[in-house]
Amino acid sequence: MAEMMGKIVQNLPSAQCCQQNRQFGALYQRDHGAPQHKHNLLHFQGRKLAWTGISALQLRSVSKVVNRGVIYCNVSSSATAVPSLEKADFLKLQNGSDIRGVAVDGVVGEPLNLTEPVTQAIAAAFAAWLSDKKKADSSKRLKISIGHDSRISAQKLQDAASRGIAGADFDVVHYGLASTPAMFNSTLTKNEDFLCPVDGAIMITASHLPYNRNGFKFFTNAGGLGKADIKDILERAANIYNGFTPESLKEAERKASSSISKVDYMSVYASDLVAAVRKASGNIEKPLEGFHIVVDAGNGAGGFFAGKVLEPLGAITSGSQFLEPDGLFPNHIPNPEDKAAMKAITQAVLDNKADLGIIFDTDVDRSAAVDSTGREFNRNRLIALMSAIILEEHPGTTIVTDSVTSDGLTTFIEKKLGGKHHRFKRGYKNVIDEAIRLNSVGEESHLAIETSGHGATKENHWLDDGAYLMVKLLNKLASARASGQTGGSKVLTDLVEELQEPAVAVELRLKIDQNHADLKGGSFRDYGEAVLKHLEKKSESDPTLKKAPVNYEGVRVSGHGGWFLLRLSLHDPVLPLNIEAPSNEDAVKLGLAVLSAANEFSALDVSALAKFVQQ
């Protein structure tokens, strides 16, 4: 296997792939005088078995004969629980369909909670979950690929995850610096030279969050895991963590030394993107020859796009910036929604007189663009541009977006492009799942996209892939040139020329004080829902306002030539408020309508809204 075209480096020795944090390594050697635990505990939740350090194959055998309850499996009498492991609240690590936590110590008020032992338990839990889903027979070893973005904690978490996976008798394939979309693709690619397809994939990333954070995204060939799956994995992980012993940890490290291979999968992923653009141009080898395109990777994982995608297609990439991975993100937050980040790529386009600028977030599942004049294609404009391209290919199709998109976008999609705009909930997984659901009930949808820059297409297996979104723009440039059109990125700008954009667009955050007496020990979610119900009732009695006839999240109301949406955050005690209007005066009127209702809730911090309406 190691000789195949040089693509697989080798099975890596423990010294290379399991470079343990010394503090964690001490877990194996101290406190051996603690009380003996002669059994490892296996919890069954329904019919699901939690891994505790024995192999996945053994677990499958056990699960055939046990339905419910708790069983105890004998282990050697020397198995001692690890007393130095700190208590961990695994469910607090859930962030919707992702896992996120603090992986680097030293930031005041942000205690470490994504440690190496916690990571090892989570990876082992994913292996157990995957084993259940795949229902694999005992003759086949399953494979899990691991990739990471540029974060400074990536290496230690990769090694810890590898121990968890190897300890469950799975093979581990390291991709090193990778993108989130590539990790999903590795479950689909059929190429034995690259050990593909893998059975599952883990991306180590925390998107655009600060350097001290990190987390995980999980994939199978069915796509990214959902909220219920993540909760299941974290519950399993808690049981695994509590059952760790010095012996089981040592055994996992030993297995990792012989179960890890390293593959340059990003070259496969990039070559697929190149092939897609060439196909769109009629199989021209260098369809972007002469185009000057600059890339801003924000020191994340997207630097490959310039050298491995654009240059093979003939594009000039001089002036591209922040391509080198640096987990401290010294230049700007790698986030297409961030104003400083967009200013940086816009300036790079103008300084280099480029035809197009492309910017990615840290793990390349989000993106945005800038045309040759410095006009940004992000948020509603990016959705409009992608909708125009998709509706050319699939006339009449439904475009699914998140809840904060503008009324002008609806008019553009439905009146100008002849499509249907289906506005749904915030959260990229919500938007994608809704598009999949619509297709399942007979309503054709080919694009699901959020204002954040997450976008997924039916043709790309509903994967939110920032690089693929940019490939769709490149396809348009290449096909336009092949048909004799000139003008560079004006081809793209012209597609959204009729998009109506509001003069005023603001987002304010109204925080709920969870310690306030008004909550009376209740949840912030219940309190927030009460605020929304009250606002809805007051809006219905105001003749200048009209509640949206179809709405899936929060309270959306039109009036004074604009609209507002107040909703409850997916994870935090916050009510985000979006207001769009044709003038500042009209925006203030909408803000006052919300403030009138919100003022009746003492635990709600309305200071940001009060300041806005007083301007």
Rounded to whole angstroms, the Cα distance separating 480 from 129 reads 47
> Quick one: pLDDT at residue 41?
31
Mean pLDDT of 211-229: 96
> Quick one: pLDDT at residue 481?
85
Mean pLDDT of 571-584: 95
> Quick one: pLDDT at residue 91?
95
CATH superfamily to which 87-263 belongs: Alpha-D-Glucose-1,6-Bisphosphate, subunit A, domain 3 (3.40.120.10)
CA distances from 536 to 182, 411, 526, 594, 596 (A): 43, 24, 15, 10, 12
Model-level pTM?
0.84
Mean pLDDT of 280-291: 94
Mean pLDDT of 177-197: 97
Among 55-59, 226-230, 424-428, 495-499, which stretch is predicted with the lowest mean pLDDT?
55-59
CATH number belonging to domain 504-613:
3.30.310.50
Give the type of residue at 329.
Answer: F
> Quick one: pLDDT at residue 487?
76
Rounded to whole angstroms, the Cα distance separating 231 from 213 reads 20
Residues in the chain: 615
- Confidence grade of residue 85 (pLDDT, cut at 50, 70, 90): confident
> Quick one: pLDDT at residue 10?
40
pLDDT digit string, tens, across residues 91-144: 999 998 999 999 999 999 999 999 999 999 999 999 999 999 987 666 689 999
> Quick one: pLDDT at residue 80?
53
- Confidence grade of residue 39 (pLDDT, cut at 50, 70, 90): very low
List the 455-457 sheet strands across, edge first: 420-423, 398-401, 445-449, 455-457
pLDDT of residue 427 exceeding 70, the answer is yes
Rounded to whole angstroms, the Cα distance separating 597 from 601 reads 8
240 and 50 in contact (C-beta within 8 Å)?
Answer: yes
For residue 573, cis peptide bond before it (omega within 30 degrees of 0): no
CATH number (3.40.50.11900, 3.40.1160.10, 3.40.120.10, 1.10.10.1100) of 269-494 reads: 3.40.120.10
Rounded to whole angstroms, the Cα distance separating 240 from 257 reads 21
> Quick one: pLDDT at residue 370?
98
pLDDT of residue 51 exceeding 60, the answer is no
CA distances from 197 to 150, 258, 268 (A): 24, 20, 12
605 SS3 class: strand
> Quick one: pLDDT at residue 482?
84
Phi-psi region of 75 (alpha: psi -120 to 50; beta: other; left: phi over 0): beta
Mean pLDDT of 351-358: 97
pLDDT of residue 333 exceeding 70, the answer is yes
Mean pLDDT of 327-347: 96
pLDDT of residue 170 exceeding 60, the answer is yes
Average pLDDT, the chain: 87
> Quick one: pLDDT at residue 488?
80
- Tokens 């012209």 correspond to 494
Backbone phi, psi, residue 445, to 5° = -135, 135
pLDDT of residue 287 exceeding 70, the answer is yes
- Tokens 């996945």 correspond to 56
pLDDT of residue 442 exceeding 80, the answer is yes
pLDDT of residue 453 exceeding 90, the answer is yes
pLDDT of residue 150 exceeding 80, the answer is yes
- Confidence grade of residue 49 (pLDDT, cut at 50, 70, 90): very low
Mean pLDDT of 30-42: 32
Among 14-23, 256-265, 436-445, 448-457, which stretch is predicted with the lowest mean pLDDT?
14-23
> Quick one: pLDDT at residue 138?
60
List the 574-581 sheet strands across, edge first: 546-547, 555-559, 562-566, 574-581, 504-512, 604-605
pLDDT digit string, tens, across residues 506-518: 999 999 999 999 9
- The fraction of the chain above a pLDDT of 90, given in percent, is 80
Mean pLDDT of 366-386: 97
CATH 3.40.120.10 in the chain is located at 87-263, 269-494
597 and 538 in contact (C-beta within 8 Å)?
Answer: yes
Please give the full DSSP string across 84-149, using - where no structure is assigned. Answer: TPPP--GGGGEETTEEEEE-S--STT----S-HHHHHHHHHHHHHHHHHHHT--TT---EEEEEE-
What DSSP designation does 313 have? G
Mean pLDDT of 277-304: 96
Rounded to whole angstroms, the Cα distance separating 367 from 337 reads 9
> Quick one: pLDDT at residue 87?
86
Structure-block tokens of residue 108:
């005041």
CATH 3.30.310.50 in the chain is located at 504-613
* CA angle in degrees (0–180, nearest 5) for 241-201-206: 75
